[in-house]
Structure formats: C-alpha cells, structure tokens
Structure 1
Amino acid sequence: MKTIYETKATATGGRNGKVSTEDGILNLEVRMPNSMGGNGGNYTNPEQLFAAGYAACFDSALQFVARSQKLRIESQVTATVGLQSSETEGITLVAALEADIQGVDREVAQQLLEKAHATCPYSRAIHHNVNVSVTLK
C-alpha cells in the first residue's frame, strides 16, 4: 500500500493534559468532562476531537461517492460520540452519524449514505469495534 498522508500527534497528561500535532497547528489543552468526574471547563476532550474528525471524514466520503456517480449534492454530517459503561464490556466508544443530503431524492440519498459508510476510512477502521448508527436527516 502507498501512504498518501500521515501525521503525528502527541498527548501528555492523558485526559487532563495537552495534545499537539507535530506541525503545531493543533495545540490544545484537554480536560475530563464534568460528567466523567472532571473539572470540565472551556477545554476539549478526546471524544470531541474524534467526533470532529469522523464528521469531516464521513462528509468527504459522502462527497466522493456522489462525485463517482456524477451527482452533485450538498451535505452536512453531524457525529455524536460518547462513552458507555457496562459491567461486561467496561467502557466502550459509541457513535452516531446524522447526514443531511440535499440535491437528490431520499432513496438516492440513503444509497449514498450506505456507500459512504462502507467507504469512509473512519467507518472502516472502527467496523465491528464500535457501535455506529447512521441516519439520514
């Protein structure tokens, strides 16, 4: 396989520390949210960062699939990412994607959504490991 892009990020201090990329573009403090027993505040957390990346990647996959079918669409993808706890599995990541697709009828939009989910690198990476729901708005 040929690598087409690679980046590097470093975390120090875990959920109450700092994350940065090697080029310095991303340089953020992260804090555990209140709901997990942290102090929260005006900081991001790993789940927000994952949600942002997943939404952007999935929207790109959606646009790619539409272009490959010579379709013009306008789309917006919202990713909701959370953590769930169970006695049997411990803490697990869950995700929900909601896509608003304009420019095609609902049946075609649903087909594009399903093909994007099969194509998106994030979706493929977490397939069978994370419970992901994908819905058309």
Structure 2
Amino acid sequence: MSKVLFTSKATATGGREGHVKSDDGLIDLNLVDPGSNSADKGSNPEQLFAAGYAACFDGALNLMASKQKKEIDSTLTAEVSLLEDSEDNGFKIGVVLRVEIKGVSQGEAEELVELAHGFCPYSKATRNNIDVDLKVKAV
C-alpha cells in the first residue's frame, strides 16, 4: 500500500434513508432517497460524491494550470446520476463534469481538463469503472 497522507472517516446508518456523519462532525446529514417522494429533507450518496469529485477535480485542474504557468479561474460542476444497470438489473452511477475556465482558449481549456482527468484521484478511482463525460467551456 502507498504512503497514507491522511484519512477521512464518515459513518452511515440506515442506508439511503438514514444518516451520515463524519468523525469530526462537519458532515452530519440525514439521507433521503430522491426517488422515495418523501417530504423529508436530506442529502443522498450521489450528491455527496458529486461534491467530493467537483472539489478534487477543480484542485487537480488548478494544479495542472499552475504547472503550465497559466492563470485561470475555474468553476466545476459534477452531475452524478444513479442509472439502471442492465447487466445485473441493479444500479450504477454516471458522471458529467461541466468545467468552465476563464483565462485560456478553448483548446487550452480542453488540454488542461484532460491533464486534470489523468491526475485527479477521483478520476483515477473511477477510470474504467463508470462513464465520466467531460464538458469543457472556455469563458
């Protein structure tokens, strides 16, 4: 195993209709299945994954830009969808990453996003496991 830099912990109870809490208490959320038609308010695993992926990818993108001495301003939106999986009649997830970058041309923006996709730990973890669609726009 590689050298551990840090570890984050969260505990879930009750599945998709339960609760999740990080060990430091910063995350302390009720979970509500979006398909349940419940009036309850809460998050869901896809929303939490989207937040993590967006933050991680944006960090990787800005690192790649700084290595190329490019000053950018970026906004990243991760859309994580729960999909039917026809292979096992279960479920899977798919991701669309919408990246807007100021300060570079469209071609440079696309190159930076590809570099970030190769570097980002979330992208590495999902590679060849789920569909990730990159939508890049220089603004």
TM normalised by structure 1 equals 0.93
Quote the residue 2:20 is aligned against.
19
User: Contact between 1:50 and 1:81, CA under 8 Å: does it hold in 2?
Assistant: yes
Report how many aligned residue pairs link the two structures.
135
Quote the residue 2:111 is aligned against.
111
For structure 1, the residue ranges without an aligned partner over 5 or more in a row are none
- Which amino acid is 2:100 matched to? D
Cα deviation, residue 41, structure 1? 3.2
User: Contact between 1:65 and 1:115, CA under 8 Å: does it hold in 2?
Assistant: yes
The answer as to 2:4 corresponding to 1:3 is: yes
For structure 2, the residue ranges without an aligned partner over 5 or more in a row are none
- In structure 2, the residue corresponding to 1:129 is in which secondary structure? coil
TM superposition outliers: structure 1 runs of 4+ over 4 Å: none
CA distance in 2, matches of 1:124, 1:11: 24
- Which amino acid is 2:98 matched to? E
The answer as to 2:30 corresponding to 1:29 is: yes
How many percent of aligned residue pairs carry the same amino acid? 44
Cα deviation, residue 40, structure 1? 5.2
**Alpha-carbon RMSD:** 1.2
Cα deviation, residue 37, structure 1? 2.9
Quote the residue 1:121 is aligned against.
121
CA distance in 2, matches of 1:125, 1:23: 25
CA distance in 1, matches of 2:18, 2:31: 5
User: Contact between 1:10 and 1:20, CA under 8 Å: does it hold in 2?
Assistant: yes
